Amino acid sequence: LSTQAADAEIGGNSQRALTLAERAIAADPRDPWGHYNKAAALTMLGRTDEAVASFAAAEERYAASDIWGRSVAIYGGAHALSQAGRCDEARREFLRYAAFVRERDPRSADLATSATQAASSSVNRNTSECGCVQRWPKKRKKVLSSESR
């Protein structure tokens, strides 16, 4: 179900992605990918507070050793805030992401830090996004949840 939710999101069907992600969470609430996919769908639906909460739920469910999973959850929350024009909160989360990945991925940390430093606190009137917005990749990596393997 998590993979189907990711596919729906990649295909631009955020409402279907949300439905599938919620079903994935019901099937296995401990699987972080259901929460991550729910958060991504909520972000695209403009439901920022719920998205940030779901990214946090995903982050806490990744194993401590799953640095990549935890980092994409932190980044996702920062991105959701940025897309919503909540620049100060987004900057704090992008800086938290940078601190979290700095040791293993200094280039990504530097990019996140420089984007927040270069951005003004004003919001783009055309998109409601912060100047520090970091775009989602066109295609996110597909992940398999435990129930779909």
Which tens digit of pLDDT belongs to each residue from 133-148? 544 443 334 333 333 3
| Averaged pLDDT for residues 49-63 | 98
| Averaged pLDDT for residues 57-63 | 98
The answer on pLDDT for 8 being more than 70 is yes
At 46 the pLDDT is 96
Pick from 5-14, 31-40, 114-123: least confident: 114-123
Which tens digit of pLDDT belongs to each residue from 71-130? 999 999 999 999 999 999 999 999 999 999 999 999 999 998 887 875 544 555 545 567
What DSSP letter does each residue of the chain carry, written as one string?
Answer: -HHHHHHHHHTT-HHHHHHHHHHHHHH-TT-HHHHHHHHHHHHHTT-HHHHHHHHHHHHHHS-TT-HHHHHHHHHHHHHHHHHTT-HHHHHHHHHHHHHHHTTT-HHHHHHHHHHHHH--S-B-TTT--BTT--PPPSSPPP---GGG-
